[in-house]
Each structure stands twice: as C-alpha cells, then as structure tokens.
Structure 1
Amino acid sequence: MNESPAPAKMKHELGLLDGTMLVAGSMIGSGIFIVSADIIRRVGSSGWLISTWVITGFMTLTVALSYGELSAMFPKAGGQYIYLKEAYNKFVAFLYGWSFFAVIQTGTIAAVGVAFSKFMAYLYQPVSETNILFSINYWGDKVLNISAAQLVSIALIFLLTFINTKGVKSGKLIQTTFTLTKLLSLFGLIVFGFWAFKSEVWNANWSNAWNIHSLNADGSFGSNLTIDMALGAIAIAMVGTIFSSDAWNNVTFIAGEMKNPKKDVALSLFFGTLIVTVIYVSANVMYTAVLPLHDIATAERDRVAVAASQVIFGGIGTMIIALMIMISTFGCNNGLILAGARVYYSMAKDGLFFKRTGTLNKAGVPEFGLWIQAIVASILCLSGEYGNLLDMISFVAVMFYVLTIIGIFILRKKRPEIERPYKAFAYPVLPAIYVIMGLAFCLLLIIYKPEYTWPGLIVVLIGIPLYFISQRNVKNEEETPATI
C-alpha cells in the first residue's frame, strides 16, 4: 500500500540578517523621497519637519520593541493576526486580516509598484503614467484610463510573486540583496548631501525653525497656527511619515520560517526600525541643508529627493534618484509580497479565509495566497484608487497597532503562564505611551481630516458580515457528515 506524501511544511531558512533586511526593506519604499514636500506645506518649518519624522520614528521603535514580547510568545506564521486572536478573539483578528487583505498590504503593494514605474519613466519615457494605452468607459460618462505605468507595475507584482512561489530562499535572496543596496545608496546620498552643505540655505531654513504655519498657494507661508490647529497639522503631516515607516511588522508574519524566531524576530524588529529611523531623520536634515523650504514644499510632483540630488550631483542627479527609487521599491514590494501571504495562510487555518490558502506548495510557501494577493493588488493598480486607499492606511494601521499593544496588557493578565523569552522594553511605560500617542493621532485625524478616516472604517466594518458568513460556512462544513 502506498503511503500518501507528507504535507509540505514551512522551511526554517531565515536568520537575523534576513529578518532585519525584511524589516528595513519593507519600510523603505518611495515615501522618504517624496512625502517631505507635503509635510512642509502642512507645518512650514524645518524644526517641525524633523520633529514629525522623529515622533514617527519614536512611535515605530516603541511599538516594535513592544511587539518583541508578542513575537517571542507566539513564534508562528501570521504575526499580528495571531497576536490579536490570542489577546482578543477570532473576530477582532479577522477584522485585522480582512483590512490587511483589502487595504493595508494590497494597497501598499499597488502603490509601491506604480512608484517603481513612475521613476522607471525617467530612464525610459514610454512607461510613463502619462502614456495612456487605452481607456474603458463605465457607468455612462466615466472613463478608466490604463497607462503604461500601471501595466509595468502589474508585471512587477506578478514577477515578484512568481519568484516567491519558488520558496522563501528565493525571496530572501532578493530581499537581502536589494535592501543592502538601497541602504548603502541612501547612506551615500546623505553623505554627499552634507558634503554639498549650503550654509546660507541652512541658516535661512533654521532661523525660525519652530514657527508652525501652513504654506500658501503662492509659495509664501501663512500666519502661525493656533495650538489646536497645529496639532491637527502635525497629525495630518504624520500620515505620510507613518505610511513611509509602515510594514516594519512584516517580519512577524514569517516567524514560522525563522531559524530562531523567539530571539531573532524581536532583534530584527529593533535593528530594522532603528536603522530606518536614523536614515529617515538624517535624510530630512540633509534636505534642509541643500534646499530652501520653499523648494522642498514646491518640488515637482513632490519629488524632494530629485530636487536635492540635482543640487548635489547636477544634471545626472535625476537619473541617480530614479535608479535608487527603482531599487528601493523593487525590494520593498518583494518584502510586502513575501510576508503578506503568511497572514492569509494563518487565517485559512482558522477557517476565516479561502480554504486553499491554508495549504503549502512543494517549496513550503502559501502559493495560492501569494497569487490572490497579486490579483487584488493588480486590480487596485488598474483602478487608480491606490492613492486614495493610502490616505486611510495610516489610520487603519495605527488603530490595529494600538489594539495589539493593548493586547500585551491583556495577555499579561490573561495568560501569565506563557513563556516570555523577551519582554516589552520599559513595560508598562513605553507601551502605554504608544497607546496614548496612537489614540491621539487617530483622534486628531477624525477631527481634522475625517476623509482620511471614514473610508478606512467602512472597510473594517465590511469585515463584520464577512466574518459571520465565514463562521456559518465553517459550521455547515462541520455538520456535514463525511463521505467515504
């Protein structure tokens, strides 16, 4: 009698360096090259530009250090989904997993893919977003334009998805190589930027560094903002910095493939977020050393790094940044694609996602989950709605981060017997500080930028009926007698 082959298992092939590169590589996409323009338009001063990045960096480091306790307690594939399930219940975990699939991960993959195409157009203009290949009429007079940039981004997503179906070793090779390359490139840009230091620009930018005011349409700065308006402006400005610093938790999703997850996931979170925070803050200080605030705020298409590079390197600067962003977004999307499918895999194991997503291919990876993630991200690329989705990602992501950190307090009471090889740094002070800062950020967005919040809440709420539908299907399967 022939025995059936043993089911495929995830392979423990990722070490500390791989985990750190996944954290850093998933965080650094195109945001650091772009979002500072919008921040300056909101806050209007160098001091608050840097403070916005420092506050976000502090929040990211704090939440990452706190996540170390959870990752050591539950070293399984799925990361944040598992933590929410253990601290609360399947319902809360599903709402996160659904939001992750519908908006957070797939929307980010789409946006990063299109960013790759946009900067590729500097080297090869036919792939530009302005090159409309064809249009589709729908709902009467509405037109959906399909550009070359969108098709290139979809090709990139499918290429990286295919590579990651061949095993985690293939994905980690791309991730480590491209992340090291972009870290060295960013470090080089910062060093050359300070080498091109312009004292007159620096002095002008930092003469009134802490006056917070908005930028008028003519390029002049408005009057100082009141305290409540200033807080709102900072919160809105942080939408960009938080999005640029997000995806740091991707390493928790692949804990089941780490060689020593109880130790290395926590260390990867710390080293990865620290490296990126230092680079982000340094890059923005460098911007203020070579570009007047007005030039940062009015950079063409918000491409601050391109403007800075032109000052530093001259005419070839645009090409240098284009190459850097292509490398950055390529590696970033690889990390997002590699890690995301592990969440759907864990959901499927709990009967909360497509059943087939809970199976592994011969290479030990959730291939079906990788492909449905690619399809949804590609649809978002074609829809052109990825930009609107990104406005609400920061709100939804922080909301679930806050719930997860509160989960540490819950689990200390609820499950004190579980081994904790690593405990949240400075507990309970730092986790409590993050919860307060996260809630303040979400509240300020609700007050001052509700359009950034209610679409995200709608996506989360859509998950409620979907959860009960999934539970009904599970119950029906359990009640159906097995056939021989």
Structure 2
Amino acid sequence: MNQTAPRGAPARVIGSWAAYSVVVGSMLGIGIFLAPPSMAQSISNPLVFLGVWLAAGVIILGGAAAYAELGARLPRAGGDYVFQREAFGPSVAFATGWALFAGIFCGSIAAVALALCQYQLPALTGLPLRDMALTLPWVGAITWAQLVAAGIVLGLTALNAAGVRLSAVAQQIVTLLPLVVLVGLALLALGLWGADRAPTPTPGTSMPLTLGSLTAAYLAATFAYSGWNAVIYVAGEVRRPERTLPVALLGGTTSVVALYLLLCGAMIAVLGMGGLAGAGEAGSAVAGALGGAPAGFVMNLLIALCLVATVNSSVLGGSRVAYAMAGDGVFWRRADRLGARGTPVVALWCQGLWSAALILTNQFEALLLAVSLTMIVTGSLSVAAHFVLRHRDPAGAGFSALGHPWLPGLYLATNVVVLYAEVHKAVVGDEGAPLIGLLVVVAAFAAHWVWRRIRR
C-alpha cells in the first residue's frame, strides 16, 4: 500500500500507542461508573450482570473488526463519511457527515466537557462552579461551569490546532495513566491485595428477568463502551494504517472490555448488587468504601482525566469529518485547508465554536436526544458498508475482519433489533425528538439526492 500522502493531505504521524490511546481514551469515561448502578436496579444476579457486559463487549468487538478492515481499505480522514460515500454514494454520506459533525461529535464534546465542570472539578477543587456567572441576552443565566467547559473545549481545540503530535502526546498521558491506575484499583478491590480490607457487600434483592430489563441493561453497557471507533476518523494521519488501525481498534476495544469486566467485578465485590443498585455513581462509592476521602479524591481525579481524554479524542476525530466533507464541497470549502502544522485548523475551530455555543445555550442535551437513533443507524450503515465493499473487492483491504462474516454480522443484526425496539419505544412513549432527528437525517439525504439530480 502506498503510504505517501498526496499533496495537501495531512502527514501520517500517529503511531501505534497514540492510535491505541485515541480508542481507549474515547471509551473510558463516566459511563462505566453510571451504567452499572442503573443496570443493577433491574438485574440482581451478578452472573447475568457480568454476562450482559461480556455480551455487549463481544458485539462491539464485531463492529471494531468491521471498522478495522474498512480503515485498512480506506485509510483517509472522515471515517463513517468516507466508508458510506464509497459504499452507498454521496447522498448517504452527506446525511451521515452532517449528523456526525453537527450533532453527535459536537453534542458529545459539549456534554462531556460540561459534566467534567459540573461534577468532577467542583469535587476536586471545592469551587462553586454551578453558581451563576452572568446573564446573556436571548440565552439567560450562564454558570461558571458552562464558562469553564467552553474554555476547556476551546483550549483543547487550540492544542489540536498546534499539531497532531502534541495532541497525541497529551492523549497518551491522560489515557494511559487512568487506565493503569483503574486496573490496579480493580485488582485491589477484588482482593488481590489485602482481601480483608474490603467491606461486607450488600446482597441484592431478587427480581425477575424480563426482555425489557435485559435490553435496557444492554443499551446502558453499549453507552459505556461508546467511542470504540474514534481512531478511524483520523485514519489519514495514522502511520502504516493497514497494521496500526486493526491493532488500535481491536486491541483498544478488548482492553476496555476487559477493564470494564474487572471494574464491574470489583463493584460487586465491594458493594454487592444491592449496594451497587443504590450507589448512583459507582466509582466514588467503591473508592470511598476502600479508602475513604483520599481514595474518593483519587477516583474523582481519574474520572476527570478520563473525561479530558474523551473530549480530546472527540475534538481530534470530529474535525476530520468536517475536513473530509469540505474536500467534497458539502461543507464550508475553507475547512479543507491545513494549517502550518498540518492540522485542519478551520475545521477544528468550526467544531470548537459550535460545541462552545451548545454549552453556553444548554442545547446539547436536546441535540443528543435528537440524534440518539441516528447514532445507531450510522454505525450500522458503516458495518453494512464493510459487507458491500468486501463483496466488490474481496482482497482490496490488506486486512481481513476478525470473525467475518459472523462477528460483524452479529453487530449489524443486534443494531437492527435495538433500532426497532428504540423506534417502537419512541412511538409508544410519544418521545418525538429521536424520531424527528432521524427524519431530519432522512430529509438531508433526500434533499442532497434531489440536488444532485437537478445539477446533472
């Protein structure tokens, strides 16, 4: 495979560890500490509880396997946008690209940055960040947390604009440190270092398993696993992508699945299923039980680092979607320009400013709700693109997806079932926002398709 970047394209400077850190850093977040308590409220059997986490991990691994082959086949900036353009045409890619950039990436950046400033930073510093800071016309009251969150987003945008190498080094630091410490804390809690230190766990209340409870638990687990495909958006800057991308995607996903199983086992060992169900946020509860206030402080610091890693990887990846779209003329044309350090500076600042605006106007929650079904559709379309492109050119990737066709097929089939269940839930529950968001994406596809036909 020719690794020489075409003129004007970003240089391939992201190595194996940096690519691995993008995957792990994007996955590690508050989800692993919020999802287990909600799952334990409907699943009291610890084996079933752990089985759901394992099953969700295997299904996610199927998606990672498909993306690994897609990345090796099409190692360019843009990820899903590029895959779907090659498999299904520019109109599908147009709808997916705008949903990714304007809704999924910018909404996620805003949500995670604000969570960091509303919960972790006040716990670490004691500062009253939830207090009102100022009032803006047409916006209303703005809290200090919103201002700091917007500042963090813009600061990480500036860091990424300063160069991919600098951003990659920062990503490795804020990812690998929490990863190592969380593994150590999980092993400690499981009794590999002083089993007598752990408190007596609280047993859970037996409750019947239902399809609804299992589905809800699976969705909570997949939420915690989200971000596993993050490195694919910067595939155009990865060295030796036919090797590095599969290792980063499969290795990073497997590492986080193993870590989450360890952490869930530790939560059960320390709190019991009953204690876990009433914990609210499991990380601080486990740390507090093991080591009191000092351990709780360390846990809050680790969660804060994980959230910074998540925001940084999203800033890195989301901007490449806008960059790829601009190159095709479906985004502001200037966004396909590279700065002096080889980064898509205009695309980065478009994303940073939109994310900051979502934080200051408090519109990101509504936006994320609107694109919640679109997230499922986007991943499903890309895995479907894997099957389409492999059928067209079986040997064109240089890498074969692990477990093809069964593992990618399992991911795709599960997503179809989940999408049906979520659409049914939205219709029955009169939850219009996700359906409206999905209809907007369909309308974007139709409008672009008609526009292309008129131009011919």
TM-superposed deviation, 1:354: 1.3
Counterparts of 1:77-88 in structure 2, within 5 Å, are 77-88=77-88
Task: Quote the residue 1:217 is aligned against.
Answer: none
Bigger mean CA offset, 272-281 vs 454-463: 454-463
**In the aligned structure 2, how far is the partner of 1:281 from the partner of 1:393?**
29
Residue number among 178, 193, 204 corresponding to 2:174 in the alignment: 178
Contact 1:99 1:460 in 2 (8 A): no
Bigger mean CA offset, 173-182 vs 94-103: 94-103
Question: Are 2:418 and 1:441 equivalent residues in the alignment?
Answer: yes
The code of the aligned residue for 1:298 comes to G
Bigger mean CA offset, 143-152 vs 287-296: 143-152
Q: Secondary structure at the match of 1:146?
A: strand
Question: Are 2:85 and 1:108 equivalent residues in the alignment?
Answer: no
Q: State the TM-score, normalized to the length of structure 2.
A: 0.89
Contact 1:114 1:381 in 2 (8 A): yes
TM-superposed deviation, 1:159: 0.6
Contact 1:23 1:247 in 2 (8 A): yes
**In the aligned structure 1, how far is the partner of 2:394 from the partner of 2:377?**
28
TM-superposed deviation, 1:466: 4.6
TM-superposed deviation, 1:428: 1.6
The code of the aligned residue for 2:262 comes to S
**In the aligned structure 1, how far is the partner of 2:312 from the partner of 2:38?**
27
Counterparts of 1:84-163 in structure 2, within 5 Å, are 84-117=84-117, 118-129=119-130, 131-135=131-135, 144-163=140-159
Contact 2:199 2:289 in 1 (8 A): no
The code of the aligned residue for 2:356 comes to S
TM-superposed deviation, 1:374: 1.2
Aligned CA distance change for structure 1 residues 134 and 373 (closer, same or farther; 3 Å): same
Bigger mean CA offset, 383-392 vs 238-247: 383-392
Bigger mean CA offset, 64-73 vs 160-169: 64-73
Contact 1:53 1:281 in 2 (8 A): yes
**In the aligned structure 1, how far is the partner of 2:445 from the partner of 2:92?**
10
**In the aligned structure 2, how far is the partner of 1:197 from the partner of 1:179?**
28
Task: Quote the residue 1:482 is aligned against.
Answer: none
Aligned CA distance change for structure 1 residues 356 and 137 (closer, same or farther; 3 Å): closer
Residue number among 403, 424, 444 corresponding to 1:426 in the alignment: 403
Aligned CA distance change for structure 1 residues 201 and 390 (closer, same or farther; 3 Å): farther
Aligned CA distance change for structure 1 residues 394 and 308 (closer, same or farther; 3 Å): farther
Contact 1:63 1:405 in 2 (8 A): yes
**In the aligned structure 2, how far is the partner of 1:243 from the partner of 1:66?**
19
Contact 2:101 2:319 in 1 (8 A): no
Aligned CA distance change for structure 1 residues 472 and 435 (closer, same or farther; 3 Å): closer
Contact 2:233 2:318 in 1 (8 A): yes
**In the aligned structure 2, how far is the partner of 1:362 from the partner of 1:186?**
38
Task: Quote the residue 2:3 is aligned against.
Answer: none
The code of the aligned residue for 2:334 comes to R
**In the aligned structure 1, how far is the partner of 2:430 from the partner of 2:295?**
34
Task: Quote the residue 1:307 is aligned against.
Answer: 285
**In the aligned structure 2, how far is the partner of 1:231 from the partner of 1:390?**
26
**In the aligned structure 1, how far is the partner of 2:430 from the partner of 2:157?**
30
Question: Are 2:238 and 1:258 equivalent residues in the alignment?
Answer: yes
Task: Quote the residue 1:292 is aligned against.
Answer: 272
Task: Quote the residue 2:388 is aligned against.
Answer: 410
TM-superposed deviation, 1:153: 1.1
Residues 156-179 of structure 1 deviation map (CA, whole Å, 9 limit, x = unaligned): 101100010011111101011111
**In the aligned structure 1, how far is the partner of 2:97 from the partner of 2:21?**
24
Aligned CA distance change for structure 1 residues 94 and 251 (closer, same or farther; 3 Å): same
TM-superposed deviation, 1:242: 1.8
Contact 2:134 2:141 in 1 (8 A): yes
Question: Are 2:247 and 1:267 equivalent residues in the alignment?
Answer: yes
TM-superposed deviation, 1:312: 0.7
The code of the aligned residue for 1:442 comes to L
TM-superposed deviation, 1:338: 0.9
Residue number among 387, 396, 411 corresponding to 2:374 in the alignment: 396
Contact 2:77 2:324 in 1 (8 A): yes
**In the aligned structure 2, how far is the partner of 1:407 from the partner of 1:190?**
38
Residue number among 221, 235, 240 corresponding to 1:241 in the alignment: 221
Aligned CA distance change for structure 1 residues 53 and 145 (closer, same or farther; 3 Å): farther
Counterparts of 1:311-460 in structure 2, within 5 Å, are 311-391=289-369, 395-413=373-391, 415-416=392-393, 419-448=396-425, 454-460=432-438
TM-superposed deviation, 1:288: 0.6
Q: State the TM-score, normalized to the length of structure 1.
A: 0.85
Residues 426-460 of structure 1 deviation map (CA, whole Å, 9 limit, x = unaligned): 22222221111111222222234556975234224
Contact 2:72 2:246 in 1 (8 A): yes
**In the aligned structure 1, how far is the partner of 2:264 from the partner of 2:366?**
25
State the identity as a percent: 27
Structure showing greater radius of gyration is 1
**In the aligned structure 1, how far is the partner of 2:137 from the partner of 2:39?**
36
Aligned CA distance change for structure 1 residues 470 and 172 (closer, same or farther; 3 Å): same
**In the aligned structure 1, how far is the partner of 2:283 from the partner of 2:179?**
15
**In the aligned structure 1, how far is the partner of 2:285 from the partner of 2:79?**
39
Contact 1:236 1:449 in 2 (8 A): no
Unaligned residue ranges in structure 2 (runs of 5+): 1-5
Aligned CA distance change for structure 1 residues 278 and 452 (closer, same or farther; 3 Å): farther
Unaligned residue ranges in structure 1 (runs of 5+): 1-5, 214-223, 480-484
Aligned CA distance change for structure 1 residues 304 and 386 (closer, same or farther; 3 Å): farther
**In the aligned structure 2, how far is the partner of 1:394 from the partner of 1:469?**
22
How many equivalent residue pairs?
Answer: 446
The code of the aligned residue for 1:50 comes to L
Q: Secondary structure at the match of 2:352?
A: helix
**In the aligned structure 2, how far is the partner of 1:468 from the partner of 1:358?**
25
Task: Quote the residue 1:219 is aligned against.
Answer: none
Bigger mean CA offset, 156-165 vs 96-105: 96-105
Task: Quote the residue 1:189 is aligned against.
Answer: 185
The code of the aligned residue for 1:247 comes to G
Contact 2:99 2:371 in 1 (8 A): no
Counterparts of 1:276-287 in structure 2, within 5 Å, are 276-287=256-267
TM-superposed deviation, 1:290: 0.6
